[in-house]
Amino acid sequence: MTIHKEGRLLLFVLLIILFALNWAILYYFPHNAWVQNSVMLASVIFYLLFVQFFRNPVFSITPNDKHVLAPADGKVVVIEETDEIEYLKSRRKQISIFMSPVNVHVNRMPVAGVVSFFRYHPGKYLVAWHPKSSTENERSTVVVKMDNGVEILFRQIAGALARRIKCYVKVGQPFQQGQEFGFIKFGSRVDVFLPLDAKVTVSIGETTKGGRTIIAELP
């Protein structure tokens, strides 16, 4: 387990602020142990909450070009057929994973391939499970073309709390399956659009682990 690069500066600054706060409590309330201990306990809990949010688990991945891996930790909230109108412009199976503030927020490649399309869209901040969040919220769309020519589209979507989407891809860049491609701060959602002949292997409400849970199988 490591701390993700997106959180290192924030955690350092937060540590200084909390240290200064506790020093001030000791200075202004030198004889009030209850206040000192309460503030210290609250500071530790608050800091640990931020640490767990920016945690970045380390694990090995066994590549398989027939498997589609979950791009994020979270809960499956949508499994349906829909029309993908931005790039693929065809009927697809959509799987959406909601990431709560307590989930790991590293986003990982569901398949191996080369990035064939990338676009960032500014937008609204509807709650991530809102039906229109996929098309109206701030979002980043990524398409990866596999070696067999199949293209898989996935979309990072901001939510009511998530206001910073980080996507580390560029068109033409190769990625391995399970490799990190982005990060979303403070809860959000990731949509994956698959061919209609893909076999979905998860169900609504199921918990996923990014880079480990198999969410679908390709023919």
Catalytic residue numbers, as ranges: 188
- Supply 88's token pair: 């693929």
The count of other CB atoms within 10 Å of the CB of residue 41 is: 10
Q: What CA–CA distances, in Å, run from 74 to 41, 88, 209, 210? A: 29, 25, 7, 8
137 beta partners = 124
Provide the terminal-to-terminal Cα distance of the chain, rounded to the nearest Å. Answer: 34
Q: How far apart are CA 205 and CA 219, in angstroms?
A: 25
Nearest to 21 by CA among 2, 55, 46, 4: 46
- Supply 144's token pair: 């990866």
Helix, coil or strand: residue 96: strand
Helix, coil or strand: residue 68: strand
- Supply 137's token pair: 């919220």
The identity of residue 175, as a single letter, is F
In sequence order, which residues have a C-beta less than 8 Å from that of residue 133 and are 6 or more positions away? 124, 126, 127, 157, 159, 189
The count of other CB atoms within 10 Å of the CB of residue 155 is: 26
